[in-house]
Amino acid sequence: MDFSLTEEHIMIRDAARDFAQTELLPGVIQRDNAQTFPDELVRKMGDLGFMGIMVDPKYGGSGMDTISYVLIMEELSKIDASASVMVSVNNSLVCYGLEAYGTEEQKQKYLTKLATGEQIGAFCLSEPEAGSDATSQKTTAIDKGDHYVINGTKNWITNGGRSDVYLVIAQTDREKGHKGINAFIVEKGMPGFDVGPKEDKLGIRGSDTHTLQFNDVKVPKENRIGEDGFGFKFAMKTLSGGRIGIASQALGIASGAYELALKYSKERKAFGTEICNHQAIAFKLADMYTEIEAARMLVMKAAWDKDQGNNYDMASAMAKLYASKVAMEQTVEAVQIHGGNGFVKEYHVERLMRDAKITQIYEGTSEIQKIVISRGVIKG
Instruction: Tell me how far apart the alpha carbons of residues 336 and 331 are, in angstroms, rounded to a whole number.
Output: 9
Q: Contact 110/98 with Cβ under 8 angstroms?
A: yes
Q: What is the DSSP string of 57-72?
A: GGGT-----HHHHHHH
Q: What is the DSSP string of 307-332?
A: HHT---HHHHHHHHHHHHHHHHHHHH
What are residue 38's phi and psi, to 5 degrees? -65, 140
CA 143 to mean position of chain CA atoms: 32
- Considering only CA atoms, give the Rg of the chain: 21
Which of 213, 111, 108, 112 lies closest to 161 in space, CA to CA?
213
159 dihedral zone (left: phi>0; alpha: psi -120 to 50; beta): left
Instruction: Tell me how far apart the alpha carbons of residues 349 and 71 are, in angstroms, rounded to a whole number.
Output: 21
Instruction: Tell me how far apart the alpha carbons of residues 158 and 131 are, in angstroms, rounded to a whole number.
Output: 14
Instruction: Tell me how far apart the alpha carbons of residues 193 and 187 are, in angstroms, rounded to a whole number.
Output: 9
Which of 14, 35, 20 lies closest to 351 in space, CA to CA?
35
Q: Active site includes 363? A: yes
What are residue 10's phi and psi, to 5 degrees? -65, -40
Instruction: Tell me how far apart the alpha carbons of residues 246 and 319 are, in angstroms, rounded to a whole number.
Output: 9
Annotated catalytic residue: which of 8, 227, 363, 367? 363
Q: Give the helix/strand (H/E) hosting 273.
A: strand 273-274
Instruction: Tell me how far apart the alpha carbons of residues 247 and 360 are, in angstroms, rounded to a whole number.
Output: 9
Q: Contact 335/353 with Cβ under 8 angstroms?
A: yes
Instruction: Tell me how far apart the alpha carbons of residues 216 and 139 are, in angstroms, rounded to a whole number.
Output: 11
Give catalytic residues, as residue numbers.
363
